[in-house]
Chain A
């Protein structure tokens, strides 16, 4: 029995629900070609980082200004740069090239926290030909006087500002650290988000005990990380009028199926490619198809959301029951 694997995400019709998340693999045209060849239905480009661009601009200005106009024989130390690109230009070229070379939709990704001039990059990404935009909000609120309300308002303002500057669909990728996730999801949707991507895996610094220094450390996701987004997609499914993407911990066809079962429109992968290679994507898709066929589902759409909080036999499990059940199994006795 053939199964219709297609799905709708951000208003885009995708041939299947397997999307490659923002990661270095999608940062060049060769990588993107391999993504498409491996069977993925869309690709999210790596994030264009506000912080990085601003830093690079500042660094470039500093390089040109440091030591300049101080000594008569050396008024500058570098030739004036020509066609210098601090990031956006290269990024926009990649979008244009990808759109020319690939058939699958290309989703641009923007990481930023401030409004103002920054939002112009959203329009540039659109104008370069991206099919949709993923806004990756990552802000570490370290200020002791910075309240949750003010941070949340900042997020919402940003989403509104970006939404106003583009006409392509807008997804918002967030982390799980909100006190009231459901409410936040609703407000993001109200602010103009067409989709939510749950959840971002933030880069956490590590420390080196020998040098006593903090250092960045990139770690790949593990399968157990699936559970957090799984819960929240389950809770949000059917209650917010936006597309839902699950990212984190999708490492095999089983996790892919679980993502769809709780209501995700798409599941995003990256670490599994690093661990097992591009061929794993094809395997996941065919195993998913076999499973759906075996269970006599005719389409992904039919299967989607069957185990969401709304539709599952035990809705309370997603709110409290998981803990109780875990406790039960740990003690070996029913409570």
Chain B
């Protein structure tokens, strides 16, 4: 029975439709209410039945009612699980409360079910496709479902399982076609067609586990039908032979290349599917595919694109070949484990299962009791998604650090070290004499992490060192990964064995210095070429070993705390950021809460120190309380003092000493941060942000300003600039971008910085350091390029440069400590027009193409916005406090706080 209108719950109707023969009822709730007697629907049903039977006792015994949970966190609910529920009901003594779909070995309330139980009919085509987000697999399958659903008597269903990472994300499409309506709202577990659109998946994913005996297997393979067999892992060969699969290959990437389609293999694989699956006659399918192509690209203008797609469709069938399957396994290759063998147990047993797409099989006991997951786990997830990686030329490199600074995934790093450490270096390990005065006689190495790089190319765009003879050659060039892979892996292992430089020896406020500091944010799932993560990474390099982060929901929370793996990590001493995400809207308040708690702890520690001064010694207590901890040396000194304190406390047997020992870590200055995007800071969390900065507490707020809601696909926010096309602003945003910095500056006691790593990295770095050092609220607004801008992401930093040059993005800092001129402009007077800048980005260019007159009007207004803002800020920057004092007449109204 299905309850279609839940509230108001119609008890009489419910009882009326209940067959008289019913003896037992299992009420399935897709929710969990901790502490309640039962879940809501269960309670309503029990109440309805109890009241009915109380007044109609002549109806015999009231049916037995048990309550179960299912489907939480999108867990599957399959016919096998439903069968298990019926089996439970048939028992004389069924579990009164249960769950189904998970293995709960803590409460033991979960029901076991037979995984092989299936109700799928044989005449239903059940196809599963493994692809990449970037290769168009999902769009092809969505389209196939439409073709079959709209043009044949067949029914169609398509469901797509997406990755939680945004770069190199894997998609799995589950598609059913059948002669009757398809009601199964669960994934395909028994597929009669499996397609693997990426050859390298075979190394990592068991794509054939879903295939039934006799199923068809289509593989996009760079190897032809005669040679592919020797390139398959043994496990794959075994499944093909064991299940007697029909095996086909197509070199879709070659067809795509030959037809100008680049990496889009969607229509090629789709054509092959229709040819092999025989759902509809292949000729009809091809005609429909072409029609769909016309509809898709015709709308967007597309003559040439349509032609290329047509050519790809036509070329697909010629490239499709059946493979003659040998009768025995011959391969020496094996599927690689999801995480390295030397990974910690938890990573191997729990995170590794999730990485292998088998997380649903984990029992409840495998998960941490309090939901806290270990940090520093992305390093075990060697996804190796880049086609090309940067290769370093030590002779050309000027060791500026810009490549490392701009790398969104911390996949290029640099170290300086004593030459003696090169002993035992693998052959060809690259190094150069360290340039500059700081490390005379030392060596310098720049190392790429070949399996962690996404191949975005930002580093090469940022590299300023060109070869004199061949200027196209830079100190780093993108080169195909495979020829370099093994060598770079060996070099990386050795590089990691070189100790990091002492933080006290490095100038944190230079680009090079900052990049010699270990990043404590690495290999996140952010998009290739992300404009946000370089800021996040830089902040962790500067303060990560003592920072707490309250993260608003959005891109930064997805790539920041994304099961299975966490990119925030720790240094050799085990120190690293503590991170949490509460809600979308409350990151500022959440961070303020951290601050208040820490301040109370510090106050408590000071009180205990004073109380215990007699036993600890006045000198130690005085030094602990009075150390300002403004420099790296002072912070390290404080760490040494706290260690000394802990040693002494351990010898004192008193409640105060025990309390202080538990809290003494708070004596080391903490760096409290709130991170989030513009959707949070300008829109949904603005009230809270405004409240927090108005309270004057030492909280640092970093706004990663992409000017749209990036995580949900580019909806307009109040940060979206005038004229830009975004979702909810398809006609170009009519009003100007909110000036969040100006609002914050109006308080007078808030540090405000507007920065751009691409345009002025030194200013960005120094402004971040200044903001953190300010013992009041700080707001940093960081320009972060994004897919939602419609740019070539490899040139994101150059786009930022252009944004600043034309005055679109203003660089400044407002430091309340500067009594004379708190506002310092770092931007130069704008040059060039806003229009020339804007039309290089699709967000404005689209409007110019669709509504030229409106675009012209909005771009002109956009230029006016820039001119007005420049004039205003120039005046504000020239307004000195002394000048104000003089203007209002001496000490009267103009006194500072």
Contact = CB atoms under 8 A, between A and B. Distances in A.
Interface of A: 53-54, 56-61, 63-87, 90, 116-118, 120, 212-213
A69 B131 CA distance: 11
Interface stretch (B132-140, B430-438, B539-547, B660-668): B132-140
A26 B713 CA distance: 40
A77 B136 contact: no
B166 interface: yes
Contact of A82 (B137, B164, B527, B730): B730
B714 interface: yes
Contacts of B137: 69
Contact of B169 (A66, A71, A82, A212): A71
A63 B790 contact: yes
A84 B139 contact: no
B136 A61 contact: no
B144 to A, nearest CB: 14
Contact of B714 (A72, A78, A117): A78
Given A70-B171, A71-B162, A57 B303 contact: yes
Contact of B712 (A53, A56, A73): A73
Contacts of B171: 69-70
Given A61-B305, A212-B466, A68 B300 contact: no
B220 interface: no
B658 interface: no
Given A78-B725, A84-B846, 19 more contacts: A57-B305, A59-B842, A60-B302, A64-B300, A65-B136, A67-B166, A69-B138, A69-B160, A70-B133, A70-B134, A75-B138, A78-B788, A80-B299, A83-B851, A85-B849, A90-B852, A116-B307, A117-B304, A120-B303
A78 B730 CA distance: 8
Given A65-B264, A76-B713, A78-B842, A70 B169 contact: yes
Nearest to A118: B303
Contacts of B831: none
A254 B514 CA distance: 67
B711 interface: yes
A115 B725 CA distance: 35
Contact of A81 (B132, B466, B846): B846
A96 to B, nearest CB: 15
A85 B305 CA distance: 14
A73 B715 CA distance: 12
A73 B713 contact: yes
Give the 7 A-B CB pairs with smallest separation, nearest first.
A70-B133, A86-B301, A74-B713, A69-B138, A212-B471, A72-B162, A79-B730
B301 A56 contact: yes
Contacts of A63: 790, 842, 846
20 contacts: A57-B302, A61-B297, A61-B300, A61-B305, A63-B790, A63-B842, A66-B787, A69-B138, A69-B160, A70-B133, A71-B169, A78-B727, A79-B725, A80-B299, A81-B299, A84-B300, A84-B846, A86-B849, A90-B849, A120-B303
Given A56-B301, A57-B300, A67 B787 contact: yes
Contacts of B714: 74, 76-78
A69 B166 CA distance: 10
Contacts of A116: 307
A84 B301 contact: yes
A325 B662 CA distance: 102
B850 A81 contact: yes
Interface residues of B, number: 48
A70 B846 contact: no
Interface in B148-175: 160, 162-164, 166, 169, 171
B672 interface: no
A78 B843 CA distance: 8
Contact of A60 (B264, B471, B842): B842
Nearest to B712: A73
Interface in B460-515: 466, 471
A84 to B, nearest CB: 5
Nearest to B302: A57
Interface string B156-199: 00001011101001010000000000000000000000000000
Contacts of A53: 301, 303-304
Interface string B700-743: 00000000001111100000000001110010000000000000
Contacts of A69: 133, 136-139, 160, 171
Nearest to B309: A61
Q: Name, among A65, A78, A83, A116, the residue most crowded by chain B CB atoms within 10 Å (CB to CB).
A: A78
Interface string B766-804: 000000000000000000000110100100000000000
B393 to A, nearest CB: 16
A64 B726 CA distance: 12
A70 B136 contact: no
B300 A70 contact: no
B376 to A, nearest CB: 24
A84 B849 contact: yes
A60 B316 CA distance: 24
Contacts of B846: 60, 63, 78, 81, 84
A71 B163 contact: yes
Contacts of B787: 66-67, 77
Contacts of A66: 134, 787, 793
Given A69-B136, A117-B304, A212-B471, A82 B850 contact: yes
Contacts of B727: 78-79
B788 A77 contact: yes
B137 to A, nearest CB: 8
A56 B840 CA distance: 12
Q: Most chain-A Cβ atoms within 10 A of its Cβ — which of B162, B726, B793, B852?
A: B162
Contacts of A120: 303
A84 B133 contact: no
A71 B139 CA distance: 13
A74 B787 CA distance: 11
A74 B163 contact: no
B304 A54 contact: yes
B300 A60 contact: yes
A129 B714 CA distance: 41
A86 B306 CA distance: 14
Contacts of A73: 558, 711-713
A90 B492 CA distance: 54
B307 A74 contact: no
A212 B473 CA distance: 11
A84 B558 CA distance: 33
B277 to A, nearest CB: 21
Contact of B166 (A71, A76, A84, A87): A71
A42 B726 CA distance: 42
Contacts of A213: 471
B631 to A, nearest CB: 39
B162 A57 contact: no
A70 B135 CA distance: 9
Nearest to A58: B305
Nearest to A70: B133
A79 B169 contact: no
Contact of B301 (A57, A70, A78): A57
Nearest to A212: B471
Contacts of B730: 79, 82
